Amino acid sequence: MNTLALPTEAAAAPARAAATPRPATSEAPWVRRLLIGVALAFLTLFLFVPLVAVFFEASKKGWDVYLAAIVEPDARSAILLTLTAAAISVPMNLVFGISAAWAIAKFDFRGKNLLLTLIDLPFSVSPVIAGLIYVLVFGLQGWFGGWLQEHDLKVIFAVPGIVLATVFVTFPFVARELIPLMQAQGQEQEEAARVLGASGWQMFWRVTLPNVKWALLYGVILCNARAMGEFGAVSVVSGHIRGQTNTMPLHIEILYNEYQFAAAFAVASLLALLALVTLGLKYIVEQRVKDQKRAVGDRSE
């Protein structure tokens, strides 16, 4: 009896296995290969090939031409202005991001959701519109144009306007990296420090800041990358004055429009190199942020 039952059970086993539904997270190997191939093809076509083309065109006429394009006075002025705008706007956004994240994550107050919405405003508003807003406010025909002219102050078509435009398009990055992490961490450690007699500054420097340092650095890197590469808002408020108000992206545009392709690609390659360095730093810090968030999640459990 048992001998006859064995083949029947063996025959029924494949049927039961076939009837078992496949897990939702698994797929056929060819599907994975297809998706990976599509992603790699997209990256190759729209990222790797253009990036290689920039460096190839920059060095095609030799390194003497390349270096001459970089050290040319207008190029040096554009590089210096780009670094200056980033050096001013990033610390300002750092202070704003920490303050906004602290207020949103640690306190409940009226208008909290409105503040969150305003932080996301640069993500939804075109940079060109942001530049036009500053022209409307600080231009000669703007709201404060007459007062600025009377006091011999210049914002539009000058460095202050470029800094303001850069600050506007970059201020969400630090805050948006800090807010989720601070909310996930809760207030237990700060409350414990307060009970032990720590002041507000001591609590910030010794408890809060060490817990968010990698997320803070990650937001600063993203903010700096956007500040150096910003084109739209800066283009509106700069006036395109060569040697004075042109940043690196604007200088590249002018060179290209004047058919100085070798010089344009040389400056573009320098900007791309800065972006690659930023990308490398971003990857390193991103891993640290993931480890930090994972540790926070483990403590909360």
- Tens digit of pLDDT at every position of the chain (301 positions): 444 444 455 555 555 544 555 555 567 788 888 999 999 999 899 888 988 999 898 888 888 989 999 999 999 999 999 999 999 999 999 999 999 998 888 888 888 888 888 898 898 888 999 899 999 999 888 889 888 888 888 899 999 999 999 999 998 999 998 998 888 877 777 778 777 777 777 787 888 888 888 888 889 988 999 999 999 999 999 988 888 899 999 999 999 999 999 999 999 999 989 888 888 888 887 777 777 667 666 665 5
What's the confidence (pLDDT) of residue 300? 56
pLDDT value of residue 257: 92
Task: Please answer whether residues 252 and 271 qualify as being in contact, where contact means their C-beta atoms are separated by less than 8 angstroms.
Answer: yes
Distances (CA, A) of 269 to 28, 42, 43, 55, 263: 42, 22, 19, 6, 10
User: Helices (DSSP H) in 107-208: which residue ranges?
Assistant: 112-119, 121-124, 127-138, 145-150, 159-170, 172-185, 188-195, 200-203
As given in the structure block, the two tokens for residue 38 are 């599509």
Q: What is the DSSP string of 190-252?
A: HHHHHHTT--HHHHIIIIIHHHHHHHHHHHHHHHHHHHHH--HHHHHHH---TTTT--HHHHH
- pTM score, whole prediction: 0.79
Burial of 189 (0-12, 13-18, 19+ CB in 10 A): middle
State the pLDDT at residue 198.
75
User: What percentage of the chain's residues is helix, strand, coil (to nearest 5)?
Assistant: 80, 0, 20
| Three-state secondary-structure class, residue 159 | helix
Owner of token pair 């006075």: 73
